[in-house]
Structure 1
Amino acid sequence: MHTEDTLDKESSPLIHGFTGSLNRNKPSKHKILFVDDDSNVINSLRKVFSLEPYDILFTTNPREAIALTRREKPSVVICDMRMPDLSGVDVLQAISEFAPHVGKIILTGHADLNSSIDAINLGQVDRFLSKPCKDDTLRHAVAELIEVFQIRLETEQMNQSLAEKVYELENFQQELNTRVDERMDEIKQVNSLLDQSRKDIKLQYLSAIRVFCNFLDLRSPALAAHSRRVADLSRILAQQLGLDESEVQEIYIAALLHDIGKIGLPDRTLFTPFASLDGEAQASLLKHPVRAQTVFLSLPDMGEVSTIIRHHHERYDGQGFPDGLIGASIHIGARILAVAEDYDELQQGWLADQKLSAKDAARFVSNASGRRYDPEVIRALPSALEEYGSTPLEHEQMVSAKTLKIGAVLTRDFTGPDGYLWGAKDQVVNGRMITKFRDGEKVIGHPMKIYIMKPKALAERH
């Protein structure tokens, strides 16, 4: 039987009421509900918050507190632990059933282990404070929970939006079959990273990863392509650092999905250097790691992935966001992802005012070792970039001079064995070039690595 079912059977509060915000210069958007059978405590709490920009609700009747919450929709409920008839845990448990987003604080002068456990498990309590509680501590706790309340509401809205988009994806699955087939290589790569003993469990959320990847691609092909490049470099860096297979897998998945929190942001916010954005756009962009983390927290086996995503904008010197973590307290996956993402964004012109070459981007991140980035990760970067540079990207394939054909389009500058540029990026291959390439291949005695555009990508280009 739910606690709230017996609400209307008896209701005789000693005091109850409403006090509007006393600070008229800051109209309140939030209500705070105080619940305590001691009217003196109620009056003390009202005094503590009299100058805060909140509307105050109060009652000494725990049953009325449930009805007040349902009717007035407060952002935070501060409740005494021990009260006649219903305990604070009973009240907050009933509230959690219809208002899970509300911040919940238990105040008690009789804290014990069992009651603390019940408060957390049954009442879904966010803070557990002992009486007497300092005014500043209480005000700080309420301010924090109002922020949590807002994030929870935003998360629900984003989840609802994601659910609607997933439904659209299902309806248009036939149109997306071609794109899904192209992305299956990514899923196969993720599958190859799975530990065999955990494969059955992991398969449960692979479909979700695919949906999120497709959703990101629908929102912005450029953002999705960025995520795939970052994922490839992050995987190589993790392997260069000697991380085990499961860690490499988690870092790869986190890199694929790290920008999910940017869905819903306008293109100008996404692709403009941070320093050039206005304050509102900057504030919105700074929230994307936390938004992304909340999406994956409830999915099985995504705890580490969501942590990496939350902290991939932390800095090694502690000047990053959202938590200001420093050094080794930042997850190694987040430290790797920070290097890989900035290396790619510098080349896209999203991080600085102008696009950098791959060489200059590598120099930029290397010069920030020990400040923005983990020195250990930076030490692994040169060898990782060498391997990354030899891996064909999604739109290209690697051929030798023997298999190179007239009409192919180079996707990278090609430097010959003599150290001179033999072919420039986007140059169309002609017969004279093929002859020169094949002669060079005979001289060095082994196939050369020539990167050209895939036929399908070439067709789409035209």
Structure 2
Amino acid sequence: MEELSAPTPAHRPTVLLVDDEESILNSLRRLLRGQPYDLLLATSGAQALEILAQQPVNLVVSDARMPGMDGASLLAHVRERYPATARIMLTGYADPAAIIKAINDGQIHRYISKPWNDEELQLILRQSLEHQHSEQERERLERLNQVQNEQLKLLNSTLEKHVAARTAELQQTADMLDLAYEELKHSYVTGTEVFSLLANLRLPPAKQTNRQIIELVRSYCKQHGLDEATSRDLTMAAALYNVGKLSWTDAMMTTPSDLLRHTERERYRGYPKQSESLLMTLDPMKDAARLILHHQERWDGSGFPDRLKGEGIPFGSRLLKLAVDFVELQRGLILERQMNSDEALLYLRQYAGRLYDPDLVEDFILVCAAFLSDVTLADPSVKVLSTRDLAAGMILARNLNADNGMLLLNAGKVLSALLVEKLIAFEAMEGGKYTIFVKVPEEVEATLKALGE
């Protein structure tokens, strides 16, 4: 054991770092020097338990793999003997079994992947200590409430006026407890969002999805007046829907799911179940975990993991699938070609009744149109045409790009007959098929109608 600071004031928390590799402990000591808490070091699970028996410790950070007593076993002992002590495990990306064991046996509060990100590790430790402090304050207020109730019983028989004053004081305390509890629930949602952003750091910015999915789901909940509990579960599900992918290789995480090889595809189909397993032991996450488990089910029953069908799929899972696919289609995580927002919404509409709840699709399109500035599909004056359906006088409603991403025409361009012919020829030369969003002026529509007659 080694103490790294001056005598600990009563209000300063203590963090115990456990790793059998002294080089790791030294790195952590250098990184965390100067933080507003005291550090203790242990090189084994047995030594860590000795330290815990000698003095109070607020937070234990343990390596997963250690000789003798591994990290999951140590944290299970800590949970049994010192339940108020927060527990975090350090583990490698490719060790989901150790994570699951630690969650089930030690009920860890967080896990941190090796090699860690310095800022991420400092943030997680600080948040864990703050959460623990909030819990202690809530318990203190509850004890205070109990004491005040006992005092009220004694005063009730002697002084009515005094009882009235104390009742008002107790009401204030109850309001404080309600406020503290609501703040705790809000903090849990915020914590999941922060964790999702940290997990997204494994992906390049162009492939990150969670933030936009969270905002889309939150916007849907607000526009449709969903209750607070449903909104909270959906937000947490949107934040952590892909936590089961964290043990994948970087290459697999950025490969479109449509291009995955057979063995990779089987692993891909297992990620909703993996995500649910990681979250189910956390009581506030149970309902969100169920939504995550079923967010890859399909309306026609061809999805996974349980091949649920139609209304048998939880509502929140159906909504989450729309949001996930809408964003992942634009990030190139489903198909090889990245779609723009209108093309992605057109894909959702095309597969309504097969992959997606047909009653939800149009509502979701309207939410996207209100939330995103680049969506034109919800505008009734916008038509979606192929090149051979184009006519002179039509106006492009959004930029037209070739399949290789090259900009062909800007939004607002008025099409001429010659331009339409060139587009048809260029499309044939590329061997592609363009989807074109246009506005049709009334005079052009009248001309086309007359020609059709």
Q: Tell me the TM-score normalized by structure 1.
A: 0.44
